[in-house]
């Protein structure tokens, strides 16, 4: 299989009208956007040559396109993570994915208050009941924005506002599709899972990554089948949009983090149950 030197990659970038430098290659390797090159000795006294696979060469060119389109590094991390999730280790190896996830998480930790507010406003618009009071919506936006900005989640701040924003009449009637009801408690559990997974990201075992990939692949195909039924729900059906590859790349890091969090929590729960079980 063909291998490509750093010079080959830079020449390919130039041929596509993209500017790149050896420093960019080194930086992107450290960030996890690219894999570490394989090094091969050329013989006694002749040094070594460092090369990348053809798949990594194509990834490099795609990343350059994202950079030219104005994508931030955190958003670019979704491309190698998505490639690993969907295409496998021949495209992106697991150690590279781990570096990309660390980069993504670290860059998300520096979310500005303005960006946090935009995210919060989008969430509130998506789930709020039309008759919810403006003051309650403001409280919910502040709670979500604070969590985004500070990298933490406090259920006691989120849940009261979310309950009155999503169900102002306190009917307790489920909202959203029958199979996936959208409730304040469900949203809180999802966010808490992500926060805990983010805190444990560096220590996540390889098994968590691999299990998450299996679930992700099944989930993508299952969602594609069920999405039209979810979207047809009279209430909150608009939340369930088709996911094309571009959407999958955009959410790949967050999706992987969520699934790893669910996996590790399930394992912790199972271990706790085993420890609590009476012995014979």
Q: Where are the alpha helices (DSSP H) in 180-244?
A: 184-199, 206-231
CA atoms within 13 A on the CB side of 269: 6
What is the pLDDT at residue 173? 84
Higher pLDDT, 146 or 57: 57
Q: Which tops the pLDDT comparison, 12 or 187?
A: 12
Structural tokens at position 59: 């990834």
Q: What is the pTM of this model?
A: 0.86
In this prediction, residue 120 carries a pLDDT of 84
Q: What angle do CA 185, 187, 192 make, to 5 degrees?
A: 95
What is the percentage of the chain residues whose pLDDT exceeds 90? 59
Report residue 269's pLDDT band, with 50, 70 and 90 as the boundaries: low
Tokens representing residue 149 in the block = 């900005």
pLDDT above 80: residue 147:
no
- For the stretch 176-181, contacts whose Cβ atoms lie closer than 8 Å and that sit 24 or more positions apart, written own/partner, are 176/230, 176/233, 176/235, 176/236, 176/237, 176/239, 177/229, 177/230, 177/233, 177/236, 177/237, 177/240, 178/233, 179/226, 179/229, 179/230, 180/230, 180/240
With bands split at pLDDT 50, 70 and 90, how would you rate the model's confidence at 47? confident
pLDDT confidence band for 277 (50 / 70 / 90): low
138: phi then psi, degrees, rounded to nearest 5: -65, -45
Instruction: Reply yes or no on whether the pLDDT at 279 is more than 70.
Output: no
CA quadruple 178, 182, 183, 187: dihedral sign: positive
Give me the mean pLDDT over the 199-222 stretch.
94
Is the confidence at residue 276, as pLDDT, over 70? Answer: no
Q: How far apart are CA 89 and CA 253, in angstroms?
A: 16
Extract the tokens encoding 109: 């930790």
The helix or strand, by DSSP H or E, that contains position 147, with its residue range, turns out to be: helix 134-150
Q: What value does the mean pLDDT of the chain take?
A: 89
User: What mean pLDDT is predicted for residues 168-192?
Assistant: 88
Nearest residue to 160 (alpha-carbon basis) of 133, 178, 195:
133
Q: Is the pLDDT of residue 228 over 80?
A: yes
H runs (alpha helix) in 32-112: 54-68, 73-76, 78-87, 94-108
Which residues does residue 39 pair with via DSSP β-bridges, in sequence order?
A: 50
Of 41-45, 157-161, 179-183, 201-205, which one has max mean pLDDT?
A: 201-205
Predicted pLDDT at 275: 54
pLDDT at residue 7, rounded to an integer: 96
**pLDDT band of 151, cuts 50, 70, 90:** low
Which has more confidence, 170 or 113?
A: 170
Burial 71-95 (b: 16+ CB within 10 A, else e): bebbbbbbbbbbbbbbeeeebbbee
266 has a pLDDT exceeding 80: no
Would you state the pLDDT for residue 264? 80
Give Cα separations from 29 to 7, 72, 177 (angstroms): 15, 16, 43
What is the C-alpha to C-alpha distance for residues 234 and 173, in angstroms, rounded to an integer? 13
pLDDT at 75: 94
Predicted pLDDT of residue 85 = 98
What is the mean pLDDT of the segment spanning 151-157? Answer: 76
Residue 270: per-residue pLDDT = 62
Q: Look at residue 263 and tell me whether its pLDDT is greater than 80.
A: yes
CA distances in angstroms from 234 to 49, 117, 181, 238, 240, listed in the order given = 60, 28, 12, 9, 12
């Amino acid at each position: 299989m063909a291998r490509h030197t750093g010079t080959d990659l830079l020449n390919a970038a130039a041929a596509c009208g993209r500017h790149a430098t050896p420093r960019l290659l080194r930086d992107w390797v450290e960030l996890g956007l690219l894999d570490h090159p394989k090094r091969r000795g050329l013989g006694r006294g002749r040094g070594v040559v460092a090369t990348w696979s053809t798949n990594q060469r194509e990834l490099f060119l795609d990343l350059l396109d994202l950079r030219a389109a104005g994508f931030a590094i955190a958003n670019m991390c979704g491309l190698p993570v998505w490639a690993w999730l969907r295409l496998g280790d021949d495209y992106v190896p697991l150690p590279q994915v781990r570096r990309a996830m660390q980069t993504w998480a670290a860059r998300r930790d520096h979310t500005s208050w303005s960006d946090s507010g935009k995210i919060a406003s989008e969430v509130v618009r998506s789930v709020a009941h039309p008759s919810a009071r403006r003051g309650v919506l403001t409280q919910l936006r502040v709670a979500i924005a604070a969590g985004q900005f500070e990298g933490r989640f406090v259920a006691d701040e989120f849940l009261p506002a979310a309950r009155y924003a999503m169900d102002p009449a306190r009917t307790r009637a489920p909202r959203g599709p029958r199979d996936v009801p959208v409730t304040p408690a469900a949203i809180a559990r999802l966010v808490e899972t992500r926060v805990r997974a983010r805190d444990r990201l560096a220590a996540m075992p390889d098994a968590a990554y691999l299990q998450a990939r299996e679930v992700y692949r099944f989930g993508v195909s299952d969602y594609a089948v069920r999405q039209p039924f979810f979207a047809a729900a009279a209430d909150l059906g608009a939340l369930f949009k088709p996911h094309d590859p571009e959407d999958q790349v955009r959410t790949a890091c967050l999706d992987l983090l969520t699934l790893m969090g669910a996996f590790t929590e399930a394992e912790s729960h199972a271990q706790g149950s085993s420890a609590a079980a009476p012995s014979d």
